[in-house]
């Protein structure tokens, strides 16, 4: 189910409302992706299968704590998968976008473009 920007669950974008019309694009905005830094993380990861934490941090020009916190939230939402491991003795963290995250990004971007086009 899509979550609106106001935090209220909304009907699935693929299904028409009772009136037969598609829901307004703002109702298709995803609350998890409405924070710009989260949107940057997800948009960057959409280009790759997986990426190391530091590579994502550099790609979106964020700090370690910010990326760590937001990645944790996206993981809880089911949009991101976080894998920890070692290369030699050095710990490494790998981030990858889940299918749900990829779909959410697609929906959110479509809604954003539609809303901005409306203005």
Partner 1 sequence: MSTNHSQESHPDLKEQLRAAQLGGTGGARLARSADLAGGRYAAVMASLIGLYLLVVVYVYPQDILWLSIAATAVFAIGMIATSVSYSRLRRASGLGWSKRYSTGFALSVLLFGLGMLLLELTDVRDAWMWIPYAGATGLPLMAGVSDHLYRGPRAYIGGKTP
Query: What residue ranges bind partner 1 (CB under 8 A)?
Result: 5, 24-26, 33-34, 36-37, 39-52, 54-56, 58-61, 87-88, 102, 105-106, 109-110, 112-113, 115-116, 118-119
Closer of 41 and 77 to partner 1 (Cβ): 41
Minimum CB separation of residue 29 from partner 1 in Å reads 8
Closer of 15 and 47 to partner 1 (Cβ): 47
The owner of tokens 């993380």 is 41
CB neighbour list of residue 9: distance below 8 Å, 6 or more residues apart = 1, 2, 3
Residues 50 and 45: their CA atoms lie apart, in Å, by 7
Minimum CB separation of residue 107 from partner 1 in Å reads 10
Radius of gyration of the chain (CA): 16
Backbone φ and ψ of 10, nearest 5°: -125, 160
Minimum CB separation of residue 63 from partner 1 in Å reads 14
């Amino acid at each position: 189910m899509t979550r609106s920007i106001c935090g209220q669950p909304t009907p699935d974008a693929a299904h028409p409302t009772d009136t037969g019309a598609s829901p307004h694009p703002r109702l298709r905005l995803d609350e998890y992706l409405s924070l710009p830094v989260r949107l940057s993380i997800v948009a960057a990861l959409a280009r790759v299968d997986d990426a190391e934490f530091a590579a994502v941090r550099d790609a979106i020009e964020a700090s370690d704590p910010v990326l760590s916190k937001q990645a944790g939230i996206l993981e809880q939402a089911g949009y991101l998968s976080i894998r920890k491991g070692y290369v030699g003795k050095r710990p490494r963290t790998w981030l990858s976008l889940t299918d749900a995250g990829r779909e959410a990004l697609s929906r959110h971007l479509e809604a954003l473009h539609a809303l901005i086009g409306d203005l």
